[in-house]
Structure 1
Amino acid sequence: MASQQNRSKAEFELRAVQFSRLTRRGILLGLSLPQLIVLAIGVLSVVGALYAGGGVLLAWTAPVWVVCAVLAWTPIGGRKLIEWVPVTVRWLLRTSARQTVFRMRVVKPRPAGTLALPGDAAALREWEDPETGAAMIHDPHAQTLTAIVAVSHPAFVLLDPGEQERRVATWGRVLATACRSGRIARLQICERTLPDGGSGLVEWWRRHGQDDESWTSTVYRELIDRAGPAGERHATTISVALDMRAAARQIRTSGGGIKGAAAVLRQEMTTLTTALRAAELAVTGWLTPPEVAVILRAAYDPAAAASLERHGDIGRSLATAGPVAVTETWDRLRSDSAHHAVLWISEWPRSQVYPGFLAPVLLSSGIQRAFSLICTPIRSDQAARDIRKKKTELISDAAQRQKMGQIEDASQTAEYGDVLQQEADLTAGHGVLRFTGLISISAPTVEELDTAVAAIEQAAIQASCETRRLVGQQAQAFTVAALPLCRTV
């Protein structure tokens, strides 16, 4: 009896998890390709000066090899100085070409079937599935077709440990389904905080209230109008992107083109819906074009979110759901009625943590933000090749450091242990997923935005995560973090 009790207790005990470290390996001895290039230039300048003219020429070439050494070894903001060069050059080119400023052309309408989004998202096309009515977003450059489903769930932190462990296991089966498919480019879980427009109160009053123009009904109606937009609610969506290149044969079998891709995507939608229901996630339904339009409009214009929710007949067209004006700066974004900043979770917890460790970030109140977790499935054969390559590079680097008399670093040993664990998991039949976490924060003013960003950074520290602001690419990062379109940055 005691053994059975201990076994049942172990089955329902909440287990800790651990993430792999962000790889920081380079081509040679931990040096990246840009570092090796500038160091090679510096070494060649020194050797050439010594052979050609000795110390005098070495002094003349000092600016070259000193600059190369500074570029290769000086860290700024978590990166070496040479790694900032392509980011800065790209930003200067975009600024000179005025690609950081977007203004909607009111007189000249957008082409039919396109989304009114700025930047590289302007190429996205919309397709309404005639069978399910779902909105499918086609990315012609990435060759993906995306559908979005709304889900609801109970508060995870309020569940008992046994129920939390069971839900974690069932969610793992959902991710395993995506890994085994072979046709899914990526999944995106987007959790957003929105001002409660009071649609629930309005719907309740419409069904149960008696609006007879009496004093009582008038007071109730005024209270609902005032109290509705004062709240805050959370909305969760899961986006699935079909890899049209990987599913080319199935698409041709289904008729080819967007219609064939939509037929293949419907199969993945059915599989995902079944897996979500098995995980006890309530599937509200696949979002229609009007519902997607409201999400896009509310992301760029948060001040209109409550009105769009309360009035179901406005702002429901994808052709006009984009922003009117967008201005991008180095470290933030300004859209119609808000300022935005995007943070990247550069380091997940290095120590063991329990599921629900992101609660300080997700449950932060009074901050309008969108948290996006992008899951990219890796094919088993590709994952095996990557693991073998990593093992070879780590062993080679260790041998090279031993020849040079360098001391082995604990972080390098831990990274090698992560690779061995990934190899063991892959051998056991588990899928491999690459996770990317982004947090988009919005506020009416710059001062409020800075305060909200500082609060989220502190919440991330409590969650044992490290965040970095994606400078020089805020516009592209915002479309990935705040919009459930299953894109990458």
Structure 2
Amino acid sequence: MARKHDRDSTRNEYELSPVKFSRLTRRGILLGLSLSQLITLAVAVLSVVGALYAGGGILLTYSAPIWLACAVLTWVPAGGRKLIEWVPVTFRWAWRVTGGHLIYRRRVVKPRPAGTLALPGDAAALREYMDPETEAAMIHDPHQHTLTAVIGLSHPAFVLLDPGEQERRVTAWGRVLATTCRSGRIARLQVLERTLPDSGTGLAEWWDAHGDADGSWAATTYQELIERAGPAGERHATTLSLALDMKTAARQIRTAGGGLRGAAAVLRQEMTTLVAALRTADLTASAWLTPGEVAVILRSAYDPAIAATLERHGDLGRDLATAGPVAVTEAWDQLRSDSAHHAVLWISEWPRSLVYPGFLAPVLLSTGIHRSFSLICTPIRSDQAARDIRKKKTEHISDAAQRQKIGQIEDAGQTAEYHDVLQQEADLTAGHGILRYTGLINISAPSTDELEAAVSAVEQAAIQASCETRRLVGQQAAAFTVAALPLARTV
């Protein structure tokens, strides 16, 4: 029996454990109805009751357009949403169209104020602050009250590791996320994985490290070939963005001197803790990105055609004041920037069944597509998470009692959501952190036809990964800054 137990323990140690995501909650305030649905339903009921009391059938006929329109807005779906949920999106889009906010053109003769980023839309308010101690670029968002720093990551290919090593790395990454939850001062953590054209710098770096430049004909010829080699293939780059919540850390910021200098001191503490956690997870972290390195990422996102050139020539494009686009035109379901068309997909449903940690491989390893995958992790404080869980449990129980009272049958989806809440409560009780995940995929292509083909390919890859994606509409510009830029913003 002891030998059997040892064999089982050894086998479990080297097996990769599957994981399961919580469902996206679709519950409303009452009987699955949201606040907007309840308002339109109340208007319909009041119009019917008022017509019956005031004049009977004649007024009921006259008021039919009101309660019929309210009923249609409440119950009829379109594009995965009820029609009433499209009303604020449509009005906001109409306001932006009439206000001329869909077109951005840089004023070349009128430079931006010092310290600001040359980005369109609400991202124009972002400020640059260079930390004097680490020389890292810190991006201040005055609207969301965050201060963000970016670090580069390198790691071996996860899918090529053996199951035991994969399990160990997944557990270690869970400790990294738990560290951000315990801090209480972290607003967001963003993992940005991008595909970039290979600029040929890898060959040059290999020659500098291993080559023998002895002046011979062979060495000279080989060095010239490397210098003339153009982009070939593609490579993957990963960054991790850490955003400090300046409201939550207000007391610590005042203690450190106040202002951006005090916020930078508090953020440095979180940066040190994060780097230590990354090392324990066997993730190789580079130095925190400087303003020039962040500028190259921003410029490459809006102008992919220049990305390889910027990487090959290290002195070009390294000014945050000029890193933004020259022109941006936003459409209902896509975005046009300097040299590319972009479309952003939202991962609306993560896998509902048990999957292994490498389930996103079809999306992340798709070749021939210029795309960026952004995972926004929002840590929730344990006390706030406990309150939210209690509230959800109470709502589930009261809704179940109300459905039983009116004779409505509870479906399997509602039961599954309740079990997810119970599992979150168990995880929180066991000491784990609770995070909200948002996944966005930005696809870029030189033309509209190539963009649509790439979007279709990514959607099929997401299906293979057991994920459901939806193309964001009416907010492509805001979604692009989240999906393609390492600024740890939300949409």
Partner of 2:159: 157
Alignment check: 8 A CA contact 1:211 1:218 kept = no
| Alpha-carbon shift at residue 220 of structure 1 (Å) | 5.2
Please name the residue that 1:481 is paired with.
483
Structure 1 letter corresponding to 2:248? A
Inter-CA distance 133–214: structure 2 relative to 1 (3 Å threshold): same
TM-score by length of 1: 0.98
Q: Is the 8 A contact 1:325 1:336 kept in 2?
A: yes
How far off is 1:42 after superposition? 0.9
Show the counterpart of 1:10: 12
Aligned residue in 1 for 2:224? 221
Q: How big is each residue's C-alpha offset from its partner over 1:322-379, in whole Å with a ceiling of 9 and x where there is no partner?
A: 0000000000000000000000000000011011000000000000100000000001
Residue in 1 aligned with 2:356?
354
8 A Cα contact 1:151 1:285, kept in partner: no
Give 2:228's aligned amino acid: D
Q: 1:54, CA displacement in angstroms?
A: 1.2
Residues 371-390 of structure 1 mapped to structure 2, 5 A cutoff: 371-390=373-392
Query: What is the correspondence of 1:93-242 to structure 2 with a 5 Å cutoff?
Result: 93-206=95-208, 208=211, 210=213, 217-218=220-221, 221-222=224-225, 224-226=227-229, 228-242=230-244
* C-alpha displacement of 1:214: 5.1
Which one of the candidate residues 300, 314, 325 is aligned to 2:316? 314
> For 1:291-335, what per-residue CA distance to the aligned partner results, in whole angstroms no more than 9, with x for missing partners?
000000000000000000000111000000000000000000000
SS of residue matched to 1:349:
coil
* Cα offset, 1:206, TM superposition: 4.8
The alignment covers a number of residue pairs equal to: 488
Q: Deviations over 1:61-116 (max 9, x none)?
A: 11111111111111001000010000000000011101111000100000000000
Partner residue of 2:27 out of 25, 28, 41: 25
The equivalent of 1:91 in structure 2 is 93
- Secondary structure at the aligned position of 1:372 is classed as strand
In structure 2, give the amino acid aligned to 1:317: D
Alpha-carbon distance in structure 2 between the residues aligned to 1:184 and 1:43: 45
Q: Secondary structure at the match of 2:231?
A: helix
Matches within 5 A, 1:265-304: 265-304=267-306
1:406 corresponds to which of 408, 414, 420: 408
Q: Is the 8 A contact 2:28 2:34 kept in 1?
A: yes
Percent of residue pairs bearing the same amino acid type: 76
CA contact (8 A) 1:12 1:166 kept: no
Amino acid at match of 2:231: P
Q: Which amino acid aligns with 2:81?
A: R
CA 1:84/1:220 → structure 2, altered by over 3 Å: closer, same or farther? same
Per-residue displacement from partner, 1:206-238 (whole Å, max 9, x unpaired)? 553649595873465246524x40220000000
The letter of the residue matching 2:144 is: A
Contact 2:204–2:226 (8 Å) recurs in 1: no
Provide the rounded CA distance (Å) in 2 between the counterparts of 1:149 and 1:220. Answer: 32
Native 8 Å contact 1:342 1:477 kept in 2: yes
Work out the CA distance in 1 between the residues paired with 2:417 and 2:69: 31
1:261-288 Cα offsets, whole Å, 9 max, x none, are 1111011000000000000001122100
Q: How does 1:31-70 map to 2 (within 5 A)?
A: 31-70=33-72
- Please, which runs of 5 or more residues in structure 2 have no aligned partner? none
**Structure 2 CA distance for aligned equivalents of residues 436 and 442 of structure 1:** 20
In structure 1, give the amino acid aligned to 2:18.
A
Partner of 1:333: 335
Q: Distance between the aligned counterparts of 2:395 and 2:46, measured in 1? A: 26
Measured against aligned partners, the alpha-carbon deviations of 1:424-460 in whole angstroms (never above 9, x if no partner) come to: 1111111100000000000000000000000000000
Aligned amino acid, residue 14 of structure 2: F
1:48 Cα deviation after fit = 1.1
